[in-house]
Amino acid sequence: MVVLVVEDETLVRMFMADFLDEAGFKVFQAVNADEALTVLKARPDIQVVVTDIEMPTGSMNGLELTRVVRERWPGVGVVISSGRALPRSDDLSDKVAYIAKPYLPDTIINVIQQLATPQVVEQQSVKSA
């Protein structure tokens, strides 16, 4: 599974990337929402975005990033996290989950696994006339 971690705090981002990597995920990192959108455009294999809500740099916060991801990449799951800000209930869906900080690595890993749906393409049988 391929995950994009969006977090402005360097140590938090590195810690999350390390434990996700150790759990077997392929991990990409972004410092803010603008960088995350660039990565998403370049990497169509990303299945889940894990984003902090409060990101002071860049043009949008994690909730705004979540809305853009849901519009442009509807198959991508999103995990929103924060130690202070809370999402509204309409920010959440079957493809968007919220986890309060601090959290255990296993909590994030389990939520990512639930949100990531592998893209399976079935070949249709060709019927001859």
129 assigned to some structural domain: no
124 assigned to some structural domain: no
126 assigned to some structural domain: no
CA angle 89, 95, 23 (to 5 degrees): 120
Give per-residue pLDDT as tens, 27-67.
999 999 999 999 999 999 999 999 999 988 889 999 999 99
Q: Rounded distance, CA 12 to CA 97, Å? A: 19
7 assigned to some structural domain: yes
CATH code, domain carrying 105:
3.40.50.2300
8 Å CB contact between 62 and 36? no
DSSP 65: H
Which range marks the domain in which residue 40 is found? 2-115
8 Å CB contact between 99 and 111? yes
pTM for the predicted model, two decimal places: 0.85
Number of separate domains in the chain: 1
Q: Rounded distance, CA 108 to CA 121, Å? A: 27
Give per-residue pLDDT as tens, 77-126.
999 998 887 777 777 777 899 999 889 999 999 999 988 755 454 444 44
The pLDDT, as a whole number, for residue 118 is 54
75 assigned to some structural domain: yes
Higher pLDDT, 114 or 128: 114
83 assigned to some structural domain: yes
